[in-house]
Amino acid sequence: MIVVTTSQVQGYRVTRTLGLVRGNTIRTKHVGKDIVAMLRYLVGGEVREYTKMFAQSREQAIDRMIEEARALGADAVLTTRFQTSKIMSGASEILCYGTAVTLEPVED
């Protein structure tokens, strides 16, 4: 599955637009990670525990979006975007969305 942030893929043309596809996940903070994060906050620096958690969340959202695109018969997802929102104190949603399409190679 080709996933890009652009509206086209070089060397291909869109043959069908299948519509909006999305994937999301909602994550909460972990008490143990919060303690370590608070210590890092006091001394400064990257909060690696949260960096890792958000990276995993993004990957899960992308995977879910791709599943939805495959179910529609898509070859690619164009104009992929991410959005993050706070659901409640200590919980965030990561949403990944784009346009599912079918592609064919452009003949030279």
Domains and CATH numbers, the chain: 2-105 (3.30.110.70)
The two tokens of residue 55 are 């990276």
Report, as an integer, the average pLDDT of 97-102: 98
Taking phi first (over 0 means left), then psi (-120 to 50 degrees means alpha), and beta for anything else, what does residue 104 get? beta
What's the pTM value of the predicted model, to 2 decimals? 0.84
Length of the chain: 108
Q: What is the pLDDT of residue 30?
A: 63
The two tokens of residue 52 are 């890792």
The two tokens of residue 32 are 């143990």
Could you identify the residue written with the tokens 């210590």?
39
Report the distance separating Cα 11 and Cα 33, nearest Å.
Answer: 45
Q: What is the pLDDT of residue 54?
A: 87
> In this structure, are residues 97 and 22 in contact, taking their beta carbons and an 8 Å threshold?
yes
Per-residue pLDDT tens digits for 33-63 = 666 666 666 777 777 777 888 899 999 999 9
Pairing of strands 12-28, 2-3: unpaired
